[in-house]
Structure 1
Amino acid sequence: MSPPPYAEEFIHFIDQATTVYHAVDWAQDELESKGYSRLKEDDDWPSILKPGGKYYVTRNATSIIAFAIGKQFISGGPLAMIGSHIDALTLKVKPVSLSEKGGYERLAIAPYSGGGPSQSFDGSYSTWWDRDLGLAGRVLVQAKNGNVEQKLVQFPTPIARIPSLAVHFGAPARGPFNWETNFIPVVGLAKPGDSVLSQDSGSVYGPVKDRHSARLLKAISREIGVPVSSIVDFDLELYDFQSATTLGLSDEFISAPRLDDKLCSFSALKALTNLSDSFLDQSSAVHLVGLFDNEEIGSGLRQGAKSNFIQTVIERLIDAQVGVKEADKSPFTSNLIGQSLASSFLISADVTHAFNPNFPGVYLPGASPELNKGVVIKAEPNGRSTTTSTGKVLLSLVAEASQSELQLFHIRNDGRSGGTIGPMVSERLGCPTIDVGIPQLSMHSIRGITGSADPGIGVKFFQGFFEHYEHLREKIEFN
């Protein structure tokens, strides 16, 4: 039996997207293969943007915004937007990672999560014990001309493991555990002479050689093909090395790491790149996807959804007055921006909880999403969700037009709701917004489960939103 649409492509993507750097790199390749051109934030956009043009821009190499301008678009017209986050819970290598004890070489790490060091080991990171872990990320190297360049690194074999304590030791094996002393990956056995860099490796730029082991630096230099002496710094993280795979008696599931939220990111980007040139020729809207870093730690920093990234992209796009003759251009671009945002709509897409049959009591009847069924509208009345009745009606019309099915999730009153980028982007832009998700099991585990049809279900619905928003928005009064 052939796999559902996009299942194999999504598995391939997840295996490539081991870090947020690699995920954005994949997105750039995907966009360029479909005719999207790269913009830089310090470019003069009005001289570049054209009707029918397709563009993308990155920030910090960890966030990316891509948009296709309908050939009939005029500043003041609508934007159909999907926003998601592309980071995932992980363990980051510390700026000083040297750690040896009892003959073991270890790698000092710090948890990347909203809970930080206070988060319980009984929660998200309990699943990281006794896993084969890979190492990947971004390395900064000094080129021969003195410039500092970025290179991606991903080791081909697992290099780390966080060993649990055998139950035979009794109480110490049951915890509580200490982040700083009990949760350190082992990466090798310390060997005499391994801590010394060879004479021909030169002097390492800055204090890097004093902060990381010589073995780690030499391993990085081998992988990226540069001398140790050219390594300036790096941002590395650990990840579940096991490949994503289909699972189940009929391959109805996908078992994969990093589902939250590379799943919605994948489906949204594929939906955008699927838009045909003939559709864009007739479109009078801008179709935009924003994939943001740092959602798992609050969406702050310059590359997070709380930053000015999406706002400045939209303002510069409207300010360029694409397709307007010079004599007809308006000096009142803030007015045009207000017009555009008032007629625009944003889908905030983040994975949501599928029904877990082993814990039925934590779900509400009628609001317990199923795998391989449909995209889920997420509702919550206390500001963690942007969903409104008008937004639900719009998406119902999108589902009807695209022959898709919608589901609903609402947390119980005695449960705790997670956050999304929706409220913060909605607050910044002021346009109508709704929160949706693709369902998964084992959220925030090192490895989760989604339906094998769910990536394709997401692509179909998000593409339907882009293709039908222009005429459906006129059927609903949002203000």
Structure 2
Amino acid sequence: MPTVSALDHVRDLGRFVSASPSSFHATAEAARRLSAAGFKQLDERQEWPKEAGSYFVIRHGALLAWLLPATAGPRTGFNIFGAHTDSPSFKLKPKSTTGRFGWLQAGVEVYGGPLLNSWLDRELCLAGRLVLLDGSTVLAQTTPLLRFPQLAVHLDRSVNEGFKLDRQYQMNPIWGLGDPSEADLLAVLAESAGVQAAQVAGYDVVLADTQQPEVFGADQAFFASGRLDNLSSVHAGVQALIELADTTENAGSESEAPIAVLAAFDHEEVGSGSTSGASGPILADILARISASLGAGSEDWHRALASSWCLSADAGHAVHPNYADRHDPANHPQLNAGPLLKINANQRYATDAEGAALVARLARQENIPYQEFVSNNDIPCGSTIGPLTATRLGIRTIDVGVPLLSMHSAREMSGVQDPLWLSQLGRAFFAATTGR
């Protein structure tokens, strides 16, 4: 596969993000890329093939893809690159058409933990899935349609002295003019998908910023985009797995090759408790079926898990120059200095000494820089799918990710170099047979 520059990679990441305004669009875009690379989509309701190959499964807003080498047996371990497809946003409520005083507004519910103020005065679209009366599903995405308008400073002279938004009463975007009783936001959404509103029986729809991703800064050092948490990791994993599949096809499989798995879960931003989330059964289900197709019994299954690793990839924090006191005094991750190795004594991240050593070996092998991240003791640490995966399956797990500023903003910021390094680390991890 041709060598890709960091700038080419991040621009492709921008195209991936633009095609992925919702978790359902993200899985569709990942599936499109995997299919183009020769991966075959499987249906969980049907019998799966037992021969070696490259496969993927979609469950709602989650996608799992894997490379099954010809040399795999009942006890072959898994190298799992974990990520998540969802991002903080606002989800469309039932009875979505609201409004007053001649304005048409949308009823939305806060999804996850967005920086509310970052969503103000932006042109937003609606995106997600519509489930029709016949049970079929279609993806929908409107053109720029909605906006959360700020109150003018003339009407709130104290706004710059302290600012707090009421989630229920002040986070209601406008999308038109007229009488709400005579308008139907769902009809606009359905039209974008080429269906009639009367056909729509259910929907999972979020708001997304429509501003295009952009490279900027001195020497084109920075990258701004929505949903980098965590589409930067999903994109890295997809590209790494495609590259590995291409390399394996051209060079053949090694006798000890693990089963490389990309696990892109949904609902991480709201706790992962769903059929397609990391706290749900999806990963265990897929891994068990893969092992069963290789003839694994109970003993083989547990030995395969004991030989497995998970690299949990989720965006992390770069040091903010205006808020350095919010970071650990001795650990100041920079943009364009490499992916983060995320460590937490209270197991909010799953990295331990064995995992840190494996990352060190892979980084040295591939000449990839990386940086350690720990939280300030006075500020609660976030978490990832890493500890959930380790807890559910007992798989050794490492937490990594691209450093960001403005995390959970409608428009986040990374370095141009780091996303490529994360993908290269993922590629090396997929193929790793050391430290097993």
Tell me if both proteins adopt one fold, taking TM over 0.5 as the criterion.
yes
Q: Deviations over 1:171-195 (max 9, x none)?
A: 785554422222110111105xx85
Q: 2:329–2:376: 8 Å Cα contact kept in structure 1?
A: no
Q: What's 1:243 paired with?
A: 212
Q: 2:79–2:430: 8 Å Cα contact kept in structure 1?
A: yes
Whole-angstrom distance in 2 between the partners of 1:279 and 1:287: 16
Q: 1:73–1:286: 8 Å Cα contact kept in structure 2?
A: yes
Q: What's 1:318 paired with?
A: 291
Q: What's 2:131 paired with?
A: 140
Whole-angstrom distance in 1 between the partners of 2:21 and 2:383: 23
Q: What's 1:83 paired with?
A: 82
4+ residue runs over 6 A deviation? none
Whole-angstrom distance in 2 between the partners of 1:454 and 1:370: 10
Count of aligned residue pairs for this structure pair:
426
CA RMSD in angstroms, aligned pairs only: 1.9
Matched, 1:228 2:201: no
Q: 1:354–1:370: 8 Å Cα contact kept in structure 2?
A: yes
Aligned match for 1:298, one of 271, 277, 280: 271
Provide the secondary structure at the position in 1 that maps to 2:269: helix
Whole-angstrom distance in 1 between the partners of 2:293 and 2:275: 23
Q: How does 1:47-446 map to 2 (within 5 A)?
A: 48-51=49-52, 53-60=53-60, 62-113=61-112, 124-142=115-133, 147-156=134-143, 158-170=144-156, 176-190=164-178, 195-196=181-182, 213-214=183-184, 216-275=185-244, 276=247, 277-279=249-251, 281-282=253-254, 284-321=257-294, 333-446=297-410
- CA gap of 1:111–1:280, structure 2 versus 1, over 3 A, is farther
Q: Deviations over 1:56-79 (max 9, x none)?
A: 11112x001100012211110121
Whole-angstrom distance in 1 between the partners of 2:259 and 2:206: 35
Whole-angstrom distance in 2 between the partners of 1:395 and 1:221: 46
What amino acid maps onto 1:394 in structure 2?
Answer: L
Q: 2:339–2:402: 8 Å Cα contact kept in structure 1?
A: yes
Matched, 1:453 2:417: yes
Q: Deviations over 1:153-210 (max 9, x none)?
A: 1123x1111112122223785554422222110111105xx855xxxxxxxxxxxxxx
**Shift of residue 279, structure 1, vs aligned partner:** 4.7
| Structure 2, unaligned runs of 5 or more | none
Q: 2:308–2:395: 8 Å Cα contact kept in structure 1?
A: yes
Whole-angstrom distance in 1 between the partners of 2:303 and 2:202: 45
Provide the secondary structure at the position in 2 that maps to 1:180: coil
Q: Deviations over 1:333-373 (max 9, x none)?
A: 11111110111111111101012222222333552212122
Whole-angstrom distance in 1 between the partners of 2:158 and 2:403: 37
Whole-angstrom distance in 1 between the partners of 2:369 and 2:165: 44
Whole-angstrom distance in 1 between the partners of 2:115 and 2:201: 32
Q: What's 1:38 paired with?
A: 41
Q: 1:71–1:282: 8 Å Cα contact kept in structure 2?
A: no
**Shift of residue 217, structure 1, vs aligned partner:** 3.5
Q: Which moved more, 1:270-279 or 1:435-444?
A: 270-279
Aligned match for 1:15, one of 6, 13, 18: 18
Q: 1:72–1:285: 8 Å Cα contact kept in structure 2?
A: no
Whole-angstrom distance in 2 between the partners of 1:228 and 1:442: 37
**Shift of residue 109, structure 1, vs aligned partner:** 0.5
Whole-angstrom distance in 1 between the partners of 2:126 and 2:63: 23
Q: Give the TM-score taking structure 1 as reference length.
A: 0.85
- CA gap of 1:351–1:168, structure 2 versus 1, over 3 A, is same
Q: Deviations over 1:59-107 (max 9, x none)?
A: 12x0011000122111101211111111000111101112120010111
- CA gap of 1:229–1:83, structure 2 versus 1, over 3 A, is same
Provide the secondary structure at the position in 2 that maps to 1:384: coil
Q: 2:328–2:377: 8 Å Cα contact kept in structure 1?
A: no
Q: 2:99–2:105: 8 Å Cα contact kept in structure 1?
A: yes
Q: How does 1:459-478 map to 2 (within 5 A)?
A: 459-467=423-431, 469-470=432-433, 472-474=434-436
Provide the secondary structure at the position in 2 that maps to 1:282: coil
Q: 2:104–2:176: 8 Å Cα contact kept in structure 1?
A: yes
- CA gap of 1:249–1:176, structure 2 versus 1, over 3 A, is closer
| Structure 1, unaligned runs of 5 or more | 115-122, 197-212, 322-328, 475-479
Provide the secondary structure at the position in 2 that maps to 1:418: coil
Whole-angstrom distance in 2 between the partners of 1:95 and 1:250: 47
Provide the secondary structure at the position in 1 that maps to 2:90: strand
Q: 1:37–1:55: 8 Å Cα contact kept in structure 2?
A: yes
